Amino acid sequence: MARIFILWLHGLGDSGPANEFIQTQFKSADLKNAVWLFPSAPFNPVTCNNGAVMRSWFDVPELPFEVGSPIDESSVLEAVKSVHSIIDQEIAQGTNPENVFICGLSQGGALTLASVLLYPKTLGGGAVLSGWVPLSSSIISQFPEEAKKTPILWSHGTDDNLVLYEAGQAAIPFLNEAGVTCEFKSYPGLGHSISNKELKYIESWIKRRLKTSSSSTCLQLNCLKDLLS
């Protein structure tokens, strides 16, 4: 059975181990052999918390995050390098890039988006939960063509008061401009948190993506077989 890799990126001030329970919510037999990784962000001073040091993938100038809130793109790009290193190592072990999924909550969701859009290969998908766009539109021209083929699933609660729902919705025109497919799922009444309903949908989405990837691989193999026969 092909190796499936799921990378989960936590939110600001959280840690990887504190999120490991999420794996137990994915009960599908199709994912029972999936390899999960829950890394922890390094300790860094965070501007929105008056410079307090905490686990943070990159600096966040302002919270709550609203449409038009400032971003620190340079520190985001540094964090992306770390995520890309993890993905590179996984692919080097033989995992098909289209069986690699990145998921993240809040700051981890923002990093998921940036990491997917700047990776040189098409991945299985990126799932953003209550995240935001941590990049300026001026960087869209740097997105690799293969990266643009990686689909994005965006989940956001309508009652989120830390990363406002409207800030999440701002991803839609950004991704449209970039030529990236995005499915935006709204969760009425949900605040800045994860719901079982969200996780169940992400699980089904990953399963659909795997089937799509498998069908595509089979088609390519059949075409190659026809050419050689």
List the catalytic residues: 106, 160, 192
**Residues facing residue 153 across a β-bridge:** 127, 183
**Which helix (H) or strand (E) is 104 found in, with range?**
strand 100-105
Closest C-alpha among 155, 139, 160 to residue 205: 155
Q: How many CB atoms lie within 10 A of CB 206?
A: 24
Tokens read off for 5 = 């890799």
Cβ contact 132:171 at 8 Å: yes
Helix residue ranges per DSSP H, the chain: 21-24, 73-92, 107-117, 165-169, 171-178, 196-228
DSSP 3-state of 118: coil
Closest C-alpha among 116, 155, 156 to residue 134: 116
Cβ contact 213:100 at 8 Å: no
Q: How far is CA 84 from CA 1, 4, 193, in A?
A: 24, 17, 26
* Widest distance between CA atoms in the chain: 67
For residue 40, the one-letter residue type is S
